[in-house]
A and B are shown apart, each in its own frame.
Chain A
Amino acid sequence: MPQPHPIQLRINGLERNLTLDPRTSLLDALREHAHLPGSKKGCDHGQCGACTVHVDGRRVLGCLTLAVQANGSTVTTIEGLAAADGTLHAVQQAFIEHDAFQCGYCTPGQIMSAVACIHEGHAGSDDEIREYMSGNICRCGAYPHIVSAIREAAFRLAKEASL
């Protein structure tokens, strides 16, 4: 048996210490060991984006990252996006207002990806949003509303930043 590895992650602002088999994906570490089931397992092969989380501020796929690889990193999941008082992030709010989901399974990944897409400066036009959100698949086909939600959230965040 391979040695279990002690792993330290700062998840949504809290230090977490886990001891994991090195085969454990970051996604399984978050869902099964840190009890944060918001990040979803879709394909588990890097093709759907449902598991998108931020590691050290960049959007990555939890299913293709080993938890040991992320040891020492800062991780943000959908559970860590709202403010401490429960105020939703601008992207979360826009997804609700624009009805940007149907079944909701891909939504945590869509939102984490969208937050990064705006932060990267890749939400400048609908075409650019489509291109830079193409790693998040929605089988319900909520794409038009997802694009409009991101367009609006990007606008609001830019406005807030300029105040």
Chain B
Amino acid sequence: MNEFNYVRPSDAAAALREGMQPDGDFLAGGTTLIDLMKLNVKRPARLVDINRLQGLSNIMLGNTSISIGALARMSQVADDAGIKASAPALSQSLWRAASAQIRNMASIGGNVMQRTRCVYFRDPGAYPNCNKRTPGSGCAALEGINRNHAVLGTSDACIAIYPGDFAVALVAFDAQLRIQGQVERSVPVDAFYKLPGDTPDIEHDLAHGEMIIGVEVPISAALRRSHYLKVRDRASYEFAAASAAVGLELEADGRTIRDVRIALGGVATKPWRARSVEQALIGKEMTEPVVRQAAALAVEGARWREHNRFKVDLAPKVVARALMTVGGIA
């Protein structure tokens, strides 16, 4: 690990001043950053520890939205009774991720900033070429072992998967991130994540020195009737092979779909909203054939490599099963 200086500012204003320094990097739970520092992927010269800043770890359930402070821990949000009742998919996406220990450490803001698990990205010693680490240097995953790489949102420069779960649920339910820099601003989570394109090194709409201070999730009927299904190589403590955050609102007849939200994880370079599937379902009756036909649209435009074609088959099945579960026809 490289040498670095460590500071623990006492308030948010001081933390922002420190974070704006050219060599400053924010440290929250550290479950991504410390790991990547040990791997020599990240080499910050100055760590600004924001863990003990006051007032940034509250969970507030309003009438129209849920507000979660960026320093709330994953376990705290997953176990929150209000979140479980009004936003099941949010709770499930958190407790089905990582391990109990990591969920006690990792903050919500840091979770959103979690980096890819691409083995080539994570191993600069063996694979010096990586367009995400060093733009223009090349990509070992394209012709490498790419079973755990993306089939949606890829480019010729990068096929690294966005590995998280919580942000998949956030994208499905139109959540916004609150970001503090020189000014405070909000950005939809969907727009916060960038497609790799020719610049896979730029993953987020976040300037140097800006800090995520919270998440706002609008409350909807679909959010109240929501579910996060995660399919993976082992039963727990594993990243998704494919996952789906879904929410459903039916008409008074109990059969016709009024509103539906769908986002996919484990298959794309960013949390992947499946709007074409949503459009195909609205106004339709909730039956298995209808759901399966619509779910096939989730992988429109997919591009696979040597080892990851199974995701193209798996993802629509995960979407369909998640929808049938919330629809009560599974």
List residues of A (2-45) whose CB comes within 8 Å of B's CBs: 2-3, 5, 21-23, 25, 44-45
Task: Say if the beta carbon of B102 comes within 8 Å of chain A.
Answer: yes
* Stretch of B9-17, B93-101, B145-153 with 4 or more beta carbons under 8 angstroms from chain A: B93-101
Residues of A close to B35: CB separation below 8 A: 45-46, 64
- Return A98 CB to nearest CB of chain B, in Å: 21
Output the nearest chain B residue to A5 by Cβ-Cβ distance.
Answer: B6
- Complex: A55 Cα to B313 Cα, angstroms: 43
- Return B321 CB to nearest CB of chain A, in Å: 19
List residues of B (63-110) whose CB comes within 8 Å of A's CBs: 75, 79, 98-102, 104-105
Contact indicator B5/A134 (Cβ below 8 Å): no
CB within 8 Å for A49 and B99 given contacts A3-B5, A68-B6, A134-B236: yes
Residues of B close to A130: CB separation below 8 A: 235-236
- Return A55 CB to nearest CB of chain B, in Å: 9
Task: Say if the beta carbon of A80 comes within 8 Å of chain B.
Answer: no
Output the nearest chain B residue to A70 by Cβ-Cβ distance.
Answer: B51
Residues of B close to A97: CB separation below 8 A: none
Residues of B close to A147: CB separation below 8 A: none
Contact indicator B27/A69 (Cβ below 8 Å): yes
- Complex: A65 Cα to B1 Cα, angstroms: 14
Residues of A close to B100: CB separation below 8 A: 59, 113, 116-117, 120, 122, 132-135
- Return A18 CB to nearest CB of chain B, in Å: 14
Task: Say if the beta carbon of B47 comes within 8 Å of chain A.
Answer: yes
- Complex: A134 Cα to B8 Cα, angstroms: 32
Among the listed A23, A59, A64, which residue makes an inter-chain contact with B1, where contact means beta carbons less than 8 Å apart? A23
- Complex: A130 Cα to B4 Cα, angstroms: 38
Residues of A close to B104: CB separation below 8 A: 58-60
- Return B247 CB to nearest CB of chain A, in Å: 23
Task: Say if the beta carbon of B237 comes within 8 Å of chain A.
Answer: yes
Using C-beta atoms within 8 Å of the partner chain, give the interface range for chain A: 35 or more
Output the nearest chain A residue to B234 by Cβ-Cβ distance.
Answer: A134
- Complex: A55 Cα to B101 Cα, angstroms: 11
Residues of A close to B75: CB separation below 8 A: 58
- Return A128 CB to nearest CB of chain B, in Å: 11
Task: Say if the beta carbon of B25 comes within 8 Å of chain A.
Answer: no
Using C-beta atoms within 8 Å of the partner chain, give the interface range for chain B: 20 to 34
- Complex: A113 Cα to B102 Cα, angstroms: 12
- Complex: A83 Cα to B47 Cα, angstroms: 38
Contact indicator A22/B101 (Cβ below 8 Å): no
Residues of A close to B8: CB separation below 8 A: 68, 71
Residues of B close to A161: CB separation below 8 A: none
Residues of B close to A5: CB separation below 8 A: 6
- Complex: A61 Cα to B104 Cα, angstroms: 9
Among the listed B5, B98, B101, which residue makes an inter-chain contact with A2, where contact means beta carbons less than 8 Å apart? B5
- Complex: A117 Cα to B101 Cα, angstroms: 10
- Complex: A69 Cα to B27 Cα, angstroms: 9
Name the residue in B98, B99, B102 with the highest tally of chain A Cβ atoms < 10 Å from its Cβ: B99
- Return A52 CB to nearest CB of chain B, in Å: 6
Residues of A close to B206: CB separation below 8 A: none
List residues of A (116-162) whose CB comes within 8 Å of B's CBs: 116-117, 120, 122, 130-136
Task: Say if the beta carbon of A81 comes within 8 Å of chain B.
Answer: no
Among the listed B5, B30, B79, which residue makes an inter-chain contact with A69, where contact means beta carbons less than 8 Å apart? B30
Mark B residues whose CB is within 8 Å of A.
Answer: 1, 3-6, 8, 27, 30-31, 34-35, 38-39, 47, 49, 51, 75, 79, 98-102, 104-105, 235-237
Q: Which 7 A-B pairs have the closest CB atoms?
A: A135-B99, A134-B236, A134-B237, A22-B6, A58-B104, A64-B34, A61-B101
Task: Please give 18 more A-B residue pairs, beta carbons under 8 A apart, in addition to A2-B3, A61-B101, A135-B237.
Answer: A1-B3, A5-B6, A45-B38, A46-B101, A58-B75, A59-B104, A60-B104, A61-B105, A64-B105, A66-B6, A66-B27, A66-B34, A69-B27, A116-B100, A120-B79, A120-B100, A132-B100, A135-B102
